[in-house]
Amino acid sequence: MTSLPFTQVDAFADAPFTGNPAAVMPLGQWLDDATLQRIAAENNLSETAFTVPTPDDPEADYALRWFTPAVEVKLCGHATLASGHVLIGGNIAVRFRTRDAGVLTVSRDRDGYTLSLPAWSMEPRPLPDLAAGLGGHPVESHWRDGGYSLFLFPDAAAVRALKPDFAALKALGDIMLIATAPGDDSDIVSRVFVPGAGIDEDPVTGSAHCLLTPFWAPRLGRTKFSAWQASARGGRLGCRLSEGRVMLTGACRTVIEGSFLL
C-alpha cells in the first residue's frame, strides 16, 4: 500500500466552506497519467493539483499539473493558489512549472496570496449555440481559441438568474463559458460553467480571470478592481493587470489534511 499526502484547501475563500475546494497532492515523482486521473476522479473535486520538486530547474521550485474528475486541464488558477498555500512554507514565494501556461508564481500578500497568471485576450464572435445553452440575453459574446467563451450581460441580476442547459452545453465539447456583468457589491461579477470537462458550475475560477481582467480593465478605466464569482459557494478576488500579467489576490483555508492510500 502506498500513502500519498493529501490536503484539501478552499481557495479564494474568506472562510471555510466558501471559495473553490482543491486537493493538493505533493509527489516525489510522477505517477502514470491514468493513476493521476483516477485519483482526481476519486477526490471528485473540481481540481486535483499534483506537484513534483524540480531541483534542477533554475526558474521553478515544482512542476505542477491539474486534473478534473474527467480530464487534465491546461491551466487552473484556484488549485495553483491552493498549491502555493500548501508548499510556500517560510518562503516569500513559490514557483510552479506548468506544461502549457509557463511558470506561475504564488507570493505572500498580507493575510493571503497573490497569484501571477498570463493575461489572455479575446475577440468578439457570434456564439449562438453556446448562448442558447447558457440562457439569458447576453449583449456581447467573445471567443478565445482553446475553448474559452465569454458572454457580457447587462447587470449582475441577469448573471445570477442564469439556468444553463448543461446537457446541451456538454454536447458542444470541453468549452469554458464565462458569464459576466458589472457588479453590485463588487466591480464585476461572473459565473463560470465547464460541463464538457465534468464541471457544470465552477465555484471560483482563477483561469477565467485571465480573460476577465483584460476584458474589464479598459471598460472600467483602471487596471485594478474587485471581482465576485456568484456561485453557490461564492468567492472574492482582487484583480490587477500588470505588464501583460494578471495578478489575482485571495485567501486560502485548509479544511482537510490526511493521506490518500493506493
User: In this structure, are 113 and 131 located in the same domain?
Assistant: no
Q: What is the dihedral of CA 159, 165, 166, 167, to 10 degrees?
A: -170
**Residue 86 domain-assigned (yes or no):** yes
Domain match, 7 and 70 both: yes
Asked whether residue 240 is domain-assigned, the answer is no
Query: Where does the pLDDT of residue 255 fall: very low under 50, low under 70, confident under 90, or very high at 90 and above?
Result: very high
Residues 74 and 143 occupy one common structural domain: no
Instruction: Give the cell for residue 19.
Output: 471559495
Total-model pTM: 0.93
Question: Does residue 256 contact residue 1 with C-beta atoms inside 8 Å?
Answer: no
Q: Cell 441580476 belongs to which residue?
A: 157
**Selection from 85, 80, 128 nearest residue 108 by Cα:** 85
Q: Which domain holds residue 16?
A: 3-118+249-261
Shared domain for 24 and 77, answered yes or no, is: yes
Can you give the pLDDT at residue 198? Answer: 86
Instruction: Please answer whether residues 64 and 76 qualify as being in contact, where contact means their C-beta atoms are separated by less than 8 angstroms.
Output: no
Under the banding of pLDDT at 50, 70 and 90, the label for residue 1 is confident
Query: Of all residues in the chain, what percent carry a pLDDT higher than 70?
Result: 100
Among candidate residues 42, 47, 72, 243, the one labeled active-site is: 47
pLDDT at 14 over 90: no
Answer for the pair 6, 249: CB distance below 8 angstroms, yes or no: no
Domain containing residue 54: CATH number: 3.10.310.10
User: Is residue 223 a part of any domain in this protein?
Assistant: yes
Please report the pLDDT score of residue 19 as a whole number: 95
Residues 112 and 205 in one domain: no
Query: Do residue 10 and residue 110 come from a single domain?
Result: yes
Each residue's pLDDT tens digit, 52-108: 999 999 999 999 999 999 899 999 999 999 999 999 999 999 999 999 999 999 999
243 is catalytic: no
Do residues 112 and 7 share a domain?
Answer: yes
Q: What tens digit of pLDDT does each residue of 188-246 get?
A: 999 999 999 888 999 999 999 999 999 999 999 999 999 999 999 999 999 999 999 99
CB 204 within 8 A of CB 19: yes
Q: Are residues 18 and 110 in the same domain?
A: yes
DSSP H helices, 62-155, are 77-87, 128-134
Q: Which residues of 231-259 are buried (b: 16+ CB within 10 A; e: fewer)?
A: bebbbbbbbbbeeebbbbbbbbbeeeeee
Q: Is 39 exposed, middle or buried (0-12, 13-18, 19+ CB in 10 A)?
A: buried
Structural domain contains residue 212: yes
Number of domains, the chain: 2
- Nearest 5°: the CA angle 147, 229, 122 is 35
Angle (CA) 222-155-79 rounded to 5° is: 65
